[in-house]
Amino acid sequence: MERGGRPADGAGLAEYRRKRDFDRTREPEGAPRRKRRRGRGEPVFVVQHHIARREHYDFRLEVDGVLKSWAVPKGPSTDPSERRLAVPTEDHPLDYAEFEGTIPAGEYGGGTVLLWDTGTYTNTTAKKGRELTMAEGLAHGHVSFLLHGEKLSGGYALNRFRGGDGEEAWLLVKEKDAAADPRTDPVASRPESVRTGRVLTEIADDDGRTLHGRPRGSGGGR
């Protein structure tokens, strides 16, 4: 896959870094690093269940060296008739696809993050019969892709619209294919981490914190 556009050295990550204090959070800094080994060449996707001020699922797609990111309040669906609101958030470093843990209360996004699903995806975006890169599709406000995850698979689309307040938002929709199934709800039936098998409370416990990132235990803490 040709990797044009933004350089893969984290140049798109200024906002991500500005929002975080890496002395306080264990989230990856996403510093410039050696050239990434491309392996099979398929870009990654990740879905992280995040208990922050508002509970949501972060849906992320690797595009040109960063993770393009959306916050999906209800999480992804396997039902093509469900359109899930997806609010764009700042680009995240590729390392973030491996992050699971509890961000301390008071820090940006304070609360517990569970690695809910991950895998690779295949771009299927096209316009008038012409294949588009993900970057081109995002600029046009429409991308489609096949997910190859543990919990999510098959075609999905993200479509941009403008809300009543003029704010940009997107809708995440399952496409009608063999993997579509209105009767299952993986968000409800498979809450566990795809990486460690833990549920949210176990992740927070292991970090000695509450789900919302407060220190747990005797008399106050810091």
Q: Tell me if 84 contacts Mn ion by CB under 5 A.
A: no
CA distance 124 to 144: 5
Q: Which one-letter DSSP state was computed for residue 192? A: S
- At 123, list the tokens: 């771009």
Give strand pairing partners of 71: 58, 87
With contacts defined by CB under 5 A, name the span among 58-66, 91-99, 156-164, 200-208 that binds Mn ion. 58-66
Please enumerate in sequence order all residues whose Cβ is within 8 A of that of 158, keeping only pairs 6 or more positions apart, or say none: 70, 86, 142, 143, 144, 170, 171, 172, 173
Q: Are 78 and 152 in contact (CB under 8 A)?
A: yes
User: Min. distance of Cβ 73 from Mn ion in angstroms?
Assistant: 10
When the beta carbons of 58 and 64 are compared against Mn ion, the nearer one is 58
Calculate the alpha carbon distances from 139 to 45, 71, 91, 103, 125 in Å. 19, 18, 15, 32, 12
User: Min. distance of Cβ 194 from Mn ion in angstroms?
Assistant: 17
User: Min. distance of Cβ 50 from Mn ion in angstroms?
Assistant: 4
User: Min. distance of Cβ 71 from Mn ion in angstroms?
Assistant: 5
With contacts defined by CB under 5 A, name the span among 34-42, 46-54, 167-175, 193-201 that binds Mn ion. 46-54
When the beta carbons of 58 and 207 are compared against Mn ion, the nearer one is 58
Q: Tell me if 27 contacts Mn ion by CB under 5 A.
A: no
Q: Which residues of 183-207 are buried (b: 16+ CB within 10 A; e: fewer)?
A: eeebbeeeebbbbeebebeebbbeb
Total chain residues near Mn ion (CB under 5 A):
2
When the beta carbons of 43 and 109 are compared against Mn ion, the nearer one is 109
**Residue choice 20, 49, 50, 68 for contact with Mn ion (CB under 5 A):** 50
Task: Classify 87 as helix, strand or coil.
Answer: strand
- At 41, list the tokens: 């060449």
Candidates 179, 176, 160; CA nearest to 168 is 160
With contacts defined by CB under 5 A, name the span among 29-37, 49-57, 164-172, 197-205 that binds Mn ion. 49-57
With contacts defined by CB under 5 A, name the span among 3-11, 45-53, 153-161, 203-211 that binds Mn ion. 45-53
Q: Tell me if 58 contacts Mn ion by CB under 5 A.
A: yes
User: Min. distance of Cβ 56 from Mn ion in angstroms?
Assistant: 6
- At 104, list the tokens: 């301390």
- Chain residues in the site for Mn ion (CB under 5 A): 50, 58
